[in-house]
Amino acid sequence: MTAEPRLSPAERSGIVRDGIAVGLATGAYGVGFGAVSVASGLSVAQTCVLSLLMFTGASQFALVGVVAAGGAPLSGAATALLLGTRNTLYGLRMAPLLQWRGWRRAAAAHVLIDESTAMSVNRPTTEGARLGFTTTGVAVFLLWNLATAIGALAGEAVGDPRTFGLDAAVGAAFLALLWPRLKDDRNILVGVLGAAVALTMVPITAAGVPVLAAGGVAVLVGVLSKRDDPTELPGTDDVAGGHH
């Protein structure tokens, strides 16, 4: 079996530079999460622990969104888990590419997000894939958590979330996460159907249940569909959006 070519110093520098740039761009979103989380009723400590342990932006926004609406924490956790299932699919693709075992594989699982996957999945060598994955994952993790703490402290200082319109921030955050996915006709249909199901269930169910029901629509379409979602596959467009 032919040995893979080693990365040149210039190639390594380029991969590291790109990974840090993605970390800076994505980490900035953590300020918004921190402020939204505190506005939803979580403490600064709870918000920071959530970013440290969960570390997947869309799922974190989902959890605090359900809590903000008065839903049970378990409903929020279920919604977050539903949104985070795509990371499992990333793992199936990345495990044979990165070829890590033991504690390295376990550590990599924690930073397995859109950005780290996108910055490594198309590398021609294992060394390049590992460097891109590690640099991007660690950069996003550190900066996301730092930004979360800043946003949470700022949100706590504001006090009443209505003072600066933070009570509407959860809905705005979800819209920001959804918008890049609406480039595909199927996703538009899923969004409309999900919204219809959620609105129908709001008067008759507890808070948090409509979100789970709407998520079920997306799951059902995904199971029945015969093609991939072109807006979900990791790539440069997804990296720019910061939807980890």
Per-residue pLDDT of the chain (244 residues; tens, 9 = 90+): 566 778 888 888 999 999 999 888 888 788 888 988 888 889 999 999 999 999 988 888 888 888 877 777 887 888 788 777 778 878 888 999 999 999 999 999 999 988 898 888 888 889 999 999 999 999 999 999 999 999 999 888 766 555 666 555 556 655 665 666 777 788 888 888 888 888 888 888 766 677 667 777 777 777 777 666 665 544 444 443 445 6
DSSP for residue 111: T
Q: What's the pTM?
A: 0.71
The pLDDT value recorded for residue 124 is 85
Do 181 and 231 meet the contact criterion of CB atoms below 8 Å apart?
A: yes
d(CA 39, CA 17): 35
**Neighbouring C-alpha atoms within 13 Å toward the C-beta of 88:** 5
Q: Which two tokens stand for residue 211?
A: 């979100």
d(CA 163, CA 161): 5
The pLDDT value recorded for residue 238 is 43
SS3 assignment, position 197:
helix
The pLDDT value recorded for residue 119 is 87
The pLDDT value recorded for residue 172 is 62
Q: Which two tokens stand for residue 141?
A: 């993790």
SS3 assignment, position 54:
coil
173 closest CA partner among 84, 81, 242? 242
Q: Which two tokens stand for residue 111?
A: 């930073």
